[in-house]
Chain A
Amino acid sequence: MSAPDRVVAPPAGGIGDSPARPDGMLKVTGQFAYGSDLWMDGMLWGATLRSPYPSARIKSVSIGAALATAGVHAILTCDDVPGANRYGLEHADQPVLAEAVVRYQGEPVAVVAADHPEIARQAASKIAVGYEVLEPVTDATDAMRPDSPHVQPGGNLVRHLKLRKGLADPAAAVVVAGDYRVGMQDQAFLGPEAGLAVPDGDGGIDLYVATQWLHVDQRQVCAALGLPPEKVRLTLAGVGGAFGGREDLSMHVHACLLALHTGKPVKMSYNREESFFGHVHRHPATMHYEHGAAPGGRLVYVKARIVLDGGAYASSTSAVVGNAGTMGVGPYVVPNVHVDAYGLYTNNPPCGAMRGFGSVQAAFGYEAQMDKLAAALGMDPVELRCMNGMSLGARAPTGQLIDSTAPVAELLRLVQRRPLPRQPEHRAQSELLDLPGGAANTTHGEGVKRGVGYAVAYKNVGFSEGFDDYSVARIRLDVSGGEPTATVHTAAAEVGQGLVTIEQQICRTELAVKHVVTSPKDTSVGSGGSTSASRQTYVTGGAVQAACHRVRDRLFALAEERLGRTVADLRLADGHVVSASEDTVISIADLLGRQVIEETVEWRHRPTYPVDPETGQGFAHVQYAFAAHRAVVDVDTALGLVKVVELACAQDVGKALNPDAVLGQIHGGSAQGLGLAIMEEIQVADGLIRNPSFTDYLIPTILDVPPMPVDVLEYPDPHAPYGVRGVGEPPTISSGPAIAAAIRAATGLDLSRLPIRPEHLTGTG
């Protein structure tokens, strides 16, 4: 023991720093093992036969010719599902393999295992399925009618959320109304659905899979296989993006069935076309809004009706409806609110989670309305928003007190105050690429109009409405190579966002050690909850912090044992237990010797509660996160081409645990909102997807995404670990509405539908 001889700096690579990703070296050298990279000696390849019809009865299934194909090891149908042939996130309504009916195009009917993926695909195509084709229900509003055919036995309504506040029939001096639609967006993660199922020879299975929540998968796989959790062990394979599209099962049960049946490892990896059928999408929405305001601009009331098309199976539609409804009027103080949000079953592709989760659709409606209201009032749209924006102490339309910072006005002012991008009178030849049409050279500036638009949005963080939303973290501390080393083990999925980095940063800060090892993410530790709802830094971060504190307390106890007395001001710094009052330093390595300290904590945020079924009132959401955008666009009004010139964002993140990762989330989220605004839509006609490829479903390229300057505010949320506020989703919510507003400003058109296509701008659509 010796006296401290220097002031100890906070640990490098701790919170507030942006250290290298632990998986970064593997990713830049091509060594990182994604689900589709997994390989085992003697493994088979699985393929899926899917329904070509959105609604049909299955009259017969004949597998003989397919099974006789050389290289085919197994073909399985619904009769081969040993457990419950139903799964689902909120309602178990989806068959693992279709039984008597198919309810959407792409519904799995049979699965094949073969020596080569092409043999498996060809064999699948030889399975003869006799269908009696039925008329599909393809419009969510039609599905609400009493005389509509039922897509599911219990009827077509998944959920109706009613939000009622204040007067039933309020009146206002200035009233604007509008109808809005949002198309079906795809998550378009680049890494396909993929995994490897390995039978253990004892009736159990190990599944390596790219997912967002190992334990919710495990629960559903167990039910379908009829096996207990100890027989179904899941390990996270490398995840190539998720954005909500990996919350539901895809190939999980199929690969396990084939592996258990054949006794061999089975790999399944979707190609891009199959991926469009293999996961849920963002709900298309049809919305009607009416806003009333006093002459000075104060909102008096908002009425809204939001209809979300859930497709053939429920997935997370109930929760999406909850979000769209409870946050349906936006981050504004409104005394009188009347919102009805509906989620419906149809025979369209199933819809569920995508980044923004119900708030994206509503924001397009309420932000268009705010601009319309500003025009009717003769007010500046930013002023109108600032006047009505939520702030600390406000009441949400659910009656919930906004009990941490809600800087709506400040965020808007930040993007508003940024200098506008240059608008050249004449452009050099090299600058023509910056115009709408880009390299196609369709204009030299003639017919091009510039517009500027604003939007602000908010989003709940974490799971809501009473969900028991927890994460488990296990921290082990030992001495390795003479250095104290922490090992962090959670089952929380790393999908690209950087949770593995955050977990290590928290350990470095809390335990004052340099070396932190991340254990593989698997089900041998308790649930990490879902990597969604912008919740992992908050909830799993909270669990890691709490487990570190337990480990730290045990270190202090060891130190006091060594010293033979209690010491009030022990703390950890730079690999040592230190006390200023005692002039004491003990190295953690000395203190531990060969001992290992391990602590596991199940951590919860404060509880939320279900909302009242008749009024929607209640403490529904644990935290709200806010972002604002300013979009600047150039529109070629002759051709209907849009170039987003700049997309500025301001967001309150509470505390940026990793500033680079925060920027990455804001940039990436903003770009996905841009995609929805001007290019991305799964085109569905008569229940059939018309564009299941990256040739026809366009996501933004580096030429489509403009410079995106960002202002980050850090107002700590006193209820959250380190004051963090979820980051991932808000930018996806406000960027699209801001771009739509900018295009309206450039063109003077109403533009009530996303995405905005060229024909909407030229009047030819």
Chain B
Amino acid sequence: MRVTATVNGQVTHADDVWEGESLLYVLRERLGLPGSKNACEQGECGSCTVYLDGVPVCACLVAAGQAAGRNVVTVEGLASGDDLHPVQQAFLRTGAVQCGFCTPGLIVAAHDLLSRISRPSDLQIREALAGNLCRCTGYEAILAAVRLAARQMSGESE
């Protein structure tokens, strides 16, 4: 089947999609957007988190056909040209990136959190990111990244 969706602002077609394919598979293997990651493919790790009509979802749990006609934003769609989003900058600054396999999903999840709550408490950060597994960092640098991004997006100096 053919699946048409708006992906990172562009109307995009994927052809020859088998009905059993997930949105994650179509993004990664048919649309050349491998940024969303395939760590568990069962909705437990959050590394494939994307926006679907503005709501963060695990792309591995969305059938490709369910995304037809909808608006998808992936980690590849968060920077403006060469200008990283403050969340991306903050992940680099604080050492929140090691192997980086969880990073795309965490960045989308943190981006969503900060769009809802501009200055989250640590507990709110932990709740919001509880669906995103990271095996390298022990999460301390990720917390620091979200705090830093929140300060920068609120226009505060560091």
Contacts from A to B (Cβ < 8 Å): 18, 20-21, 23-25, 27-34, 36-37, 39, 116, 118, 187-192, 238-243, 269, 271-272, 430, 433-434, 439, 495-498, 660-661, 663-664, 667-672, 693-695, 699, 701-703, 705, 707-708
Assess the B38–A189 pair: CB atoms within 8 A: no
The one of B33, B39, B84, B139 in contact with A702, judged by C-beta atoms closer than 8 angstroms, is B139
Assess the B126–A272 pair: CB atoms within 8 A: no
B101 at the interface (CB under 8 A from A): yes
Number of A-B pairs, beta carbon distance below 8 Å: 182
Assess the A668–B136 pair: CB atoms within 8 A: yes
Which of B64-72, B90-98, B150-158 is the contact stretch?
B90-98
The one of A271, A495, A703 in contact with B126, judged by C-beta atoms closer than 8 angstroms, is A703
25 contacts between A and B (CB under 8 A): A18-B95, A20-B92, A28-B107, A30-B36, A30-B74, A34-B34, A34-B101, A37-B28, A190-B101, A190-B102, A190-B133, A190-B135, A191-B39, A240-B100, A241-B99, A242-B99, A271-B41, A272-B40, A433-B126, A495-B99, A497-B98, A664-B136, A667-B141, A703-B130, A705-B138
Assess the B136–A699 pair: CB atoms within 8 A: no
Which A residues touch B20, using CB under 8 A? Answer: 118
Assess the B92–A496 pair: CB atoms within 8 A: no
The distance in angstroms between the C-alpha atoms of A116 and B28, with both chains bound, is 13
Q: Give the residue name and chain of the A residue nearest to B88 (CB).
A: A28
Which A residues touch B99, using CB under 8 A? Answer: 189-191, 239-242, 495-496
Q: Give the residue name and chain of the B residue nearest to A694 (CB).
A: B44
Which B residues touch A660, using CB under 8 A? Answer: 94-95, 141
The one of A240, A269, A667 in contact with B137, judged by C-beta atoms closer than 8 angstroms, is A667
Closest 10 CB pairs of A and B: A30-B35, A496-B99, A27-B100, A240-B101, A667-B138, A671-B138, A694-B44, A37-B34, A496-B98, A30-B75
Interface residues on chain B, size class:
35 or more
Per-position binary interface string of chain B over residues 50-88, scored 1 when its CB falls under 8 Å from any chain A CB and 0 otherwise: 000000000000000000000000111011000010001
Most buried by B among A271, A272, A702: A702
Which A residues touch B130, using CB under 8 A? Answer: 701-703
Assess the A189–B135 pair: CB atoms within 8 A: yes
Which A residues touch B137, using CB under 8 A? Answer: 664, 667-668, 671
Assess the B37–A190 pair: CB atoms within 8 A: yes
Which A residues touch B18, using CB under 8 A? Answer: 116, 118
Assess the A663–B101 pair: CB atoms within 8 A: no
Given contacts A37-B34, A702-B126, A703-B126, 11 further A-B contacts (CB under 8 A): A24-B100, A28-B103, A29-B88, A30-B76, A39-B32, A190-B135, A240-B101, A430-B123, A664-B98, A668-B138, A702-B132
B29 at the interface (CB under 8 A from A): yes
Which B residues touch A39, using CB under 8 A? Answer: 29, 32, 34
Per-position binary interface string of chain B over residues 11-50, scored 1 when its CB falls under 8 Å from any chain A CB and 0 otherwise: 0000000101100000011001111111111101101000
B residues 120-148 in Cβ contact with A at 8 Å: 121, 123, 125-127, 129-143
Which A residues touch B44, using CB under 8 A? Answer: 693-695
Which B residues touch A271, using CB under 8 A? Answer: 38, 41
The one of A116, A192, A661, A699 in contact with B38, judged by C-beta atoms closer than 8 angstroms, is A192
The one of B75, B107, B136 in contact with A241, judged by C-beta atoms closer than 8 angstroms, is B136
